[in-house]
A and B are shown apart, each in its own frame.
Chain A
Amino acid sequence: MVNVEEIRDYAAGLLEKGEVKSVLGFRRGSASAFAEPCTITNVGEAASLVWDPTCLNNLALYLVKDRKQQAVSKTPDTRPVGIVAKGCDSRAIGVLLQENYFKREDVVVIGVSCEGTGVVDPRKLSAKLKGRTASRVTFAVQGSTSVAGGRTPGATDGADGINVSVYGDETETVIPAREVLADRCLECRAAAPALNDVVFGNTVEARDFNEPFHAAKEAERLSEDERWATWERHFDRCLRCFACRAVCPMCYCPECVVDSTTFVVTLGTSAEEKANRIRWCERSANTSESAVYHLTRAIHLAGRCIDCGECERVCPVNIPLRLLNTKLEKEAFEMFEYQAGHDIEQASLLSSFRDEDPNSFIR
């Protein structure tokens, strides 16, 4: 069990000693029980940090934003940034370090282990509560699953449960973690941050939820026509709001190849240059263009996606975007023995090869 006081003390210590300019973490948000990301810059604010199953965001995104801000600032503050990182967040930092987006000494990773659980999926939680809004969501530790109000059977599914109370009814209900955890947490292979400067919480090896890549394997089982029918529906309802790109810590290119509005135009750019820029993908939100967008994004994240599931969470039309990424993650793992964010010294997936790579598909 992670004691949030330890995280607060550590963050306050870092700020007090002036080792970091700020600490990225979570605080109580204004949207019901859910936590929101925050940047704290002075010791007093450290007390507002929280850690519970509603800390959904991948904070590595804000390291990228900070780096971008530094690049355009005339007087950049280059002191390190502290970051509260779950297992997935720490892998994201690992990939960014591997790509030299920033240096190891620029970041202080305050690792927090998700232990036997993870974060909740807001949609699953809302369905579970039948539309009522949660007022408090906390980790329930196995062994202390005393049933409050006598309503819930003590079943915690062999793993830790999640305590939930709703507005107007402050009795805590223990929901088995399996039923409300985000899909990525159910398939998580490393819930404890491997890359860290300090880590709170224990490393739990045996998490008996789903096997890794469970959802992608299920999707593969469908026939070709069924798969296309599903994906055609998904691509068709894509709005091209680019929320998945905006929330992704790996999508940091200033110019996005599939979005012509991001192409850099300076005073020196001639009309001809603007007209002749190759547009691989139009911005119109129709099935074929959205397919190109999502497939391109999946390929660009091959060997880089660390499965934080943020793209899927922010999608306003519920496209299971994680599937595309985990499919490639699965291939990278099974065929090339490559895991993103595992080793910051290794060569990236697409810039390395082995003699025994699959060759039989080539004539």
Chain B
Amino acid sequence: MSNPSQTTEVQDFEPRIVAFLCKWCSSAGSDLAGVSRIQYSANATPITIPCSGSVSPMYILSAFNKGADGVLISGCHPGDCHYMEGNYLARRKLYLVKELLQFIGLESDRFRMSWVSAAEGAKFAEVVDEFVEDLRVLGPQNRLKAER
């Protein structure tokens, strides 16, 4: 960084992540990360949802609109959905959302999806840590944020 003021801004900046977690897997996975005392970034605000397939694209747009720096959607591995096919439907739908957000020029690293099972507490911590690191580089999200 050539500009010193920018450097401090990046260091002071704590990304805010909205994490939509499937209640059958990722939510339990994040719980496991907690009870296993795994240290990971506390930047993610978890929102438990019934299934990754229940994520409406409006949740994602709304999160960005209200100032989220990143949105994480986490569901069960393919084949493990409690509702048989919810995560397959989510995969198709969110692929289109991802492509659309990239198309209008939102940084592609701001939207992320992961498969985390209830047993993968360590993976959840890793996903969040990685996401936070990537978002620190990008800085605050101002493109879709509402001026309030």
Contact = CB atoms under 8 A, between A and B. Distances in A.
A324 interface: yes
Given A289-B146, A296-B61, A324 B91 contact: no
Contact of B62 (A225, A229, A280, A327): A280
Say what secondary structure dominates the interface of chain B. Answer: helix
Interface in B100-144: 100-108, 112-115, 127, 130, 143-144
A253 interface: no
Interface in B51-102: 57-58, 61-62, 65, 78, 85, 88-89, 91-93, 95-102
Instruction: Give the one of A226, A302, A336, A355 with max B CB within 10 A.
Output: A302
Contacts of A126: none
A349 B91 contact: no
Interface residues of A, number: 46
Interface residues of B, number: 37
B65 A292 contact: yes
A357 B104 contact: no
Interface in A321-363: 323-324, 327-328, 331-332, 335-336, 349-353, 355, 357-359, 361-363
Given A295-B61, A299-B97, A362-B115, A324 B103 contact: yes
Instruction: Give the one of B92, B95, B112 with max A CB within 10 A.
Output: B92
A288 B146 contact: yes
Contacts of A289: 65, 146
A229 B105 CA distance: 8
A357 B112 contact: no
A349 B99 CA distance: 15
Interface string A255-294: 0010000000000000000000000111000101101100
A129 interface: no
A324 B96 CA distance: 11
Say what secondary structure dominates the interface of chain A. Answer: helix
Instruction: Give the one of B61, B62, B104, B115 with max A CB within 10 A.
Output: B104
Contact of B105 (A230, A296, A302, A361): A230
Interface of B: 57-58, 61-62, 65, 78, 85, 88-89, 91-93, 95-108, 112-115, 127, 130, 143-147
Interface of A: 216, 219-220, 224-232, 257, 280-282, 286, 288-289, 291-292, 295-296, 298-299, 302, 323-324, 327-328, 331-332, 335-336, 349-353, 355, 357-359, 361-363
26 contacts: A227-B103, A227-B105, A228-B105, A228-B106, A231-B105, A232-B143, A257-B58, A281-B61, A281-B65, A282-B146, A289-B65, A291-B144, A292-B61, A292-B65, A295-B61, A296-B58, A299-B97, A302-B96, A331-B99, A336-B92, A349-B92, A350-B96, A351-B89, A355-B78, A359-B91, A363-B127
